[in-house]
Amino acid sequence: MKRKIRLSPILGIIFALIWLLPFYLIVVNSFKSKTEIFSNTLGLPKDFTFENYPEAFKELDFGHSFINTLFITVVAVILISLVSSMAAYAIQRSENKFCKLFYFVFVAAMLVTFQSVMIPLVSIYGKAQMLNRFGLIFMHLGFNVSMGVFMFAGALKGIPKSLDEAATIDGANRWQIFFKIIYPMLKPTAVTVALLNAILIWNDYLLPSLVINKPGMQTIPIKMFYFFGAYTKQWHLALAGLLIAIVPVIIFYFFMQKHIVKGVADGAVK
């Protein structure tokens, strides 16, 4: 037992270093010239250069691509959170067997991969003239709402139906019960769903590349692709651009992490 206790911190440090190594390489090499990246990949830069960042910012057309990515991510996350929570609430509070069947359909839909349906999906949306940002948001809603329903349904099992009954006696309708009583109690789950989907949608390349790969509509991951040509790869700009792209996600994660920890702690006390 003593040996295991002594080894656990060492293994933790080793795994932490392995996990942090890619991020270290991104940060360190983003301040190097293209030549120095290949000659001194692991070491610290001999001459720090900040020229990569303004150039990457310009090449990314960061203003437009950031707004496009932010708009798609925020709208999609809000819709996923609302739709999945309301669907889960209706399923959990209903005694109808068909609602239980719908729940299993949602769970089964989590097993369907995008790659298996992307060609017919893009073809159908193309015929409907929906290959735009709103069509992309609708696709994200369809693909990610299943996980949200699954998570919200699990959280709703811990909220007694007596709250609904008490609110009904006080004169509240179904919408008031959900938005004023139930949904605030689902805050930890809502934050978790928002965090997972925000990271997924922000970093998504494949779906936007099929739907909105047009000038003026491209997202940050699509713009990042242009740093990697057929014959040359601009690693110095790509790494700087990658760091610029992930900073908003990191900031969002740290803000949301506080809410998740607080919600879990409150639930443990209760």
pLDDT digits (tens, 9 = 90+) for 55-78: 888 888 888 888 999 999 999 999
Name the nearest CA neighbour of 93 among 159, 150, 151: 159
CATH code (residue 211): 1.10.3720.10
33 occurs within a structural domain: no
User: Total domain count for the chain?
Assistant: 1
Q: Is residue 36 part of a domain?
A: no
Position 1 scores a pLDDT of 46
Return the pLDDT at 268. Answer: 40
Q: Looking at residue 201, what is its pLDDT?
A: 93
Query: From CA 54, how far away is CA 51, in angstroms rounded?
Result: 6
Name residue, tokens 């740290």. Answer: 254
Arithmetic mean of pLDDT over the chain: 83
For residue 28, being part of any structural domain is answered with no
- 44 found inside a domain: no
| Predicted local confidence at residue 106, as pLDDT | 86
Enumerate helices (H) and strands (E) in the chain, giving the number of each: 14, 0
* 11 inside domain: no
Question: What pLDDT score does 261 carry?
Answer: 61
Rounded Cα distance, 184 and 78, in Å: 15
pLDDT value at position 270? 45
pLDDT at 244: 86
Residues 206-222 have pLDDT tens digits of 889 888 878 888 898 88
pTM above 0.85, yes or no: no
Longest CA span, the chain:
74
Q: What is the pLDDT of residue 74?
A: 94
Specify the pLDDT at position 232: 60
Please give the residue range of the domain that contains residue 243: 50-269
Question: How confident is the model at residue 79, as a pLDDT?
Answer: 95
* Cβ–Cβ < 8 Å for 89, 156: yes
**152 in a domain, yes or no?**
yes
Closest CA to 113 of 88, 136, 144: 144
Q: Is 243 within the bounds of a domain?
A: yes
Instruction: Please list the ranges in the chain whose pLDDT falls under 50.
Output: 1-2, 4, 263-270
Position 14 in a domain: no
Q: What whole-number distance in Å separates Cα of residue 128 and Cα of residue 104?
A: 29
**pLDDT at site 233:** 75
- Residue 72, judged by CB atoms within 10 A of its CB (0-12, 13-18, 19+), counts as buried
CB 92, CB 153: distance < 8 Å: yes
